[in-house]
Amino acid sequence: MIYTILHNPVCSTSRKGLDLLTENGIEPVIRKYMNESERLSVEELRDIARKMGGVGPRAFLRERNATEAGLSAAASDADVFAAMANDPKLIQRPIGIKGDKAVLGRPVERLLDIV
């Protein structure tokens, strides 16, 4: 089964996560979701939330960037998903996806939970 990592190469935690996977013999498909051509759609973000166990989007929202982006604490899930799709810096990283499972790599060792 394919392991995909949502990766931002300028993020040290994301780089550590990718290194951890490769050190453990996992060669993931790397999706650089910050690139315009690889951005995540609202539907993909909803699917990731479902694969994380049915969590809401705030489970993988970078809260410190949310305020800067004008996203209030009272924003609906639909608004948060839309904001994340529009501005990928709002997405916490790295995220590992394999089959019907997804995990936020905070700490990065959690990426191994779905291997």
Catalytic residue among 11, 26, 82, 115: 11
Are the C-beta atoms of residues 28 and 21 closer than 8 Å to each other? yes
Domain containing residue 47: 3-114
- pLDDT value at residue 94: 98
Q: Rounded mean pLDDT of the chain?
A: 96
What's the CA gap between 5 and 31, in Å, rounded?
A: 6
- Could you report the per-residue pLDDT of 27-64, keeping only the tens digit for each? 999 999 999 999 999 999 999 999 999 999 999 999 98
pTM value is 0.95
Token pair of 45, please? 């973000």
Work out how many domains the chain is built from and give that number: 1
91 a catalytic residue: no
The pLDDT tens digits for 89-101 are: 999 999 999 999 9
Write the CATH number for 13.
3.40.30.10
